[in-house]
Amino acid sequence: MKRVLILGSGMSSTSLINYLLEHAKDLDISVRVGDIAVESAREKIKNNPRAEAFFFNAEKTDQVSAEVKEADVVVSLLPVKSHPLIARQCVRFGKHLVTASYVSPEMAELNKTAFEKDVLLLNEMGVDPGIDHMSAMQVIDRLKEEGNRLIAFESATGGLVAPEYDDNPWRYKFTWAPFNVVTAGNRGARFLHNGKFKHIPYHKLFRRYETIDIPGYGEFEVYPNRDSLNYQETYGLKDLLTMFRGTIRRPGFCEAWDALVQLGATDHSYTMEGTENMTFREFTNSFLAYNIVDPVEQKVKTYLGLENKPIVMNKLEWLGLFTEEVIGIPELTPAQALQHILMKKWQMGPEDKDMIIMQHQFDYIRLASHHKTFSTMVVKGDDQVNTAMSKTVGLPLAIAVKLILSHKIGLRGVQIPVHKEIYEPVLRELESFGISFEEKDIRVS
């Protein structure tokens, strides 16, 4: 019997653990789930005889080492900062590792020694990053094999509330780590557009959105995501004219969120004074100039140029930013205080379901004509536990574990799933879970 070690039992572990337990007999595996919140791990394994839950502290090198040593494959769902320690132990004991996180510089450094020890450190194996790489590479490889010349690649993903539960003025709810949503994009963005490199600072990011159409779901906004250029080489697309990655939101979101960015309310670089007794209104006022005449609402309008933007002002008001409610927590950064305010309004209700949308656009030249392929995925959550996010993150991880255990992946070293030997079997199996892409091809000229 082989042993799968899962570190971390947060939201996205549900689909991973369920899949592995369902296949436990076929694969002849046992599953050991460790979390600092051991109760959460225990809940997830549901008394399955092939599974056990245990208290796990990722900061104790001894425990990491002892656990990794006994495992055959390790899956880490811990925060990205914990991964290098775990990866080093995996390399040491010759165990394969799968994560859904971006490859950090510390992880990248392990490539050579992992290769020498015949170990695979497979990262970016969730949805974004993960399914985005796999589904894009499948189309890119096919277009190339057919002899086309790819000239533009644009890709966007968003975690949203499903349309039936889209019932607030922002048309958004937290379906994933709220803090990451509040600070999203704060390092600005870079991409390539028609042969020109484009650089957008954070304070302009939410004014530089584009719109896309998702068949059956209408228009969405897409704001640029971090450094799109990172993947040009990995994807083998060095001659592209346009390379853009973005995040999807519903119409109207970007303009209103921009108001919070302009205000400085998403800043995480310093701690505010007196947030324990600060009202939401005082929080808002702390970003505005002293002025004894105008109420806070008017100061916001003037400062942010929202005089003729009642729809944006309504969204800000609906959040409670002008109320006398007290934050009540000491020593918060602006971003943390804003997260606290947003949590009261953007929390998913007990019946709410989430949705993941992903769309790639490929422009290519076939003979002398310009074509465009749209490839679109929409996945809805089943309920609060089996969310779209949990399925699209957890299932690719689980399938990767299966492929590794059955020796179907020969790659070694630090990898991400841009290789056919990974994306083909994973995408094929994801289809059986309703996670699939619809393609539409048009001739542009």
CA Rg, the chain, in Å?
23
Residue from 99, 183, 285, 373 that binds a second copy (CB under 8 A)? 285
Where does this chain touch a second copy (CB under 8 A) — which range of 4-12, 46-54, 154-162, 268-276?
268-276
Decide whether 142 or 199 has the Cβ nearer to a second copy: 199
Q: Which is nearer to a second copy, 144 or 198 (CB)?
A: 198
d(CA 42, CA 166): 33
Establish if 267 lies at the interface with a second copy (CB under 8 A): yes
- Residues 144-163 as x/- pattern, contact with a second copy by CB under 8 A: --------------------
If phi over 0 gives left and psi between -120 and 50 gives alpha, with beta otherwise, what is residue 352? beta
Rounded to whole angstroms, the Cα distance separating 113 from 20 reads 29
227 belongs to the binding site for a second copy (CB under 8 A): yes
**Tally of residues, the chain:** 445
Decide: 106 and 85 in contact? Cβ < 8 Å.
no
Q: How far separated are the first and last CA of the chain, in Å rounded? A: 58
The residue (of 221 and 352) whose beta carbon lies closer to a second copy is: 221
Q: Is the distance from CB of 85 to CB of 61 less than 8 angstroms?
A: yes
Q: How many residues bind a second copy (CB under 8 A)?
A: 34
Q: Of the two residues 309 and 366, which places its CB atom closer to a second copy in the complex?
A: 309
Mode of pairing for the β-strands spanning 149-161 and 189-193? unpaired
Q: Which is nearer to a second copy, 292 or 368 (CB)?
A: 292
Which range binds a second copy by CB under 8 A, 54-62, 75-83, 161-169, 196-204?
Answer: 196-204
φ, ψ for residue 264 (rounded to 5)? 100, 10
Nearer Cβ to a second copy, position 290 or 445? Answer: 290
Choice from 47, 269, 432, 445 touching a second copy (CB under 8 A):
269
CA 377, distance to chain mean position in Å, is: 15
Tell me whether residue 193 or residue 380 sits nearer to a second copy (CB atom).
Answer: 193
Nearer to a second copy, 206 or 423 (CB): 206
Q: List Cβ neighbours of 105 (8 Å cut-off, separation of 6 or more).
A: none
Q: Which of 23, 69, 190, 370 binds a second copy (CB under 8 A)?
A: 190
Q: How far is CA 267 from CA 187, 278, 304, in A?
A: 11, 17, 17
Q: How many helices (H) and strands (E) does the chain have?
A: 18, 16
Cβ–Cβ < 8 Å for 377, 411: no
- The binder of a second copy chosen from 208, 268, 345, 366 (CB under 8 A): 208
Which positions from 320 through 379 interact with a second copy, judged by CB under 8 A? 334
Contact indicator for 154, 244 with CB cutoff of 8 Å: yes
Of 94, 218, 274, 330, which one interacts with a second copy (CB under 8 A)?
A: 274
Query: Considering only residues 239, 290, 367, 432, which one is a binding residue for a second copy as defined by CB under 8 A?
Result: 290
Question: Where do contacts with a second copy occur on this chain (CB under 8 A)?
Answer: 187-188, 190, 193-194, 196-204, 208, 227, 229, 262-264, 267, 269-270, 272-274, 282, 285-290, 334
